[in-house]
Amino acid sequence: MTAQMAKRVTEEYYSWFCGTELSGLERGRHLVCSAGRDQYLPAYGCKFTIWILVKDGLCVGAYSPKYQALFEELEKGGEIIPSLNQRFPMKRMELMVFESEKLSSYGEAKALAPADYPLYESFFRQAYPDAEPDGWLKDYFTQKARGCFTGYLSGGRLLSVCDLPDMPYMQEKIQHTGIRTLEGERRKGYALCTAALAAHNLLANGVCPQWECSAENTASIELAKAVGYREYGTAHILEEGEK
């Protein structure tokens, strides 16, 4: 998959959230009322009732019909994002697009197979001490460990893992690679090798790697750039419903 293909797939993916096709949009404001923003997204455990992308002179996105009157008022003038931030607990996410592979050596990172589940369970329990994995974690791992689920192995332990969370749209074309490194094992290059191998394996399988994080998470943004992503835009999101 080339950088041009990755950009096209990434734009197609975010078009689902924006309620309109991003490709070819002229600069300016493009906001639509969309019933799709009232749909519950199991991958996130909530609804994104407002989802707005800001990039390259564009302000484009969609909002739930229940906010139509508000947006009609906002469209009459003023800055929409600051106004929304005053009214709602808006979440700001940095969106990345894959550009090129920057690593060709991955240290002790490896693709995880179903037989590696005991190692993964041990890692998960240490990384998420408040979680309760019994009854679901093994099924999740077995389903996802198909060559792109990666981890950094040292001393018989997994120290960093890129998992493959569910995607709300285009599951077979694009895949987020969540990264987690054990405390005490960070800033040693494990996350970089693991995330780079995860992206490499996805590309080899014809799947576009996807990365997004809190806009305040500079460490995650710099890690993504080191892997081969570049900044794409910023999403302003109102999450509602269960979480």
pLDDT digits (tens, 9 = 90+) for 148-189: 789 999 999 999 999 988 899 998 899 998 899 999 999 999
The pLDDT tens digits of the residues spanning 176-231 come to 988 999 999 999 999 999 999 999 999 998 999 999 999 999 999 999 999 999 99
Provide CB contacts within 8 A for 34, sequence distance 6+. Answer: 19, 62, 63, 64, 65
Q: What is the pTM of this model?
A: 0.91
27-69 confidence digits (pLDDT tens): 899 999 999 999 999 999 999 999 999 998 999 999 999 999 9
Given pLDDT bands bounded at 50, 70 and 90, which one contains residue 146?
A: low
The per-residue pLDDT for 147 is 63
DSSP 149-185: -EEEEETTEEEEEEE----SS-TTTEEE-EEEE-TTS
Average pLDDT score over residue span 99-122 = 94
pLDDT attached to residue 40: 96
> Of 118, 108, 111, 95, which is closest to residue 212 (Cα–Cα)?
95
Tell me the average pLDDT across 76-100.
Answer: 93
Res. 243: pLDDT tops 80: no
Could you write out the three-class secondary structure of 18-80?
Answer: HCCCCCCCCCEEEEEECHHHHCEECCCCEEEEEEEEEECCEEEEEECHHHHHHHHHHCCCCCH
- For tokens 């093994």, name the residue: 138
Single-letter code of the amino acid located at 104? S
Nearest one of 49, 57, 62, 56 to 21, comparing CA atoms: 62
Residue 11: pLDDT band by 50, 70, 90 thresholds? very high
| % the chain with pLDDT above 90 | 78
Residue 197 one-letter amino acid: L
Q: What is the mean pLDDT of residues 77-82?
A: 87
Mean pLDDT of the chain: 93
21-32 burial, b if ≥16 CB within 10 A, otherwise e? ebeebeeeebbe
Q: What is the average pLDDT across 100-108? A: 94
**Of all residues in the chain, what percent carry a pLDDT higher than 70?**
99
pLDDT for the residue 120: 94
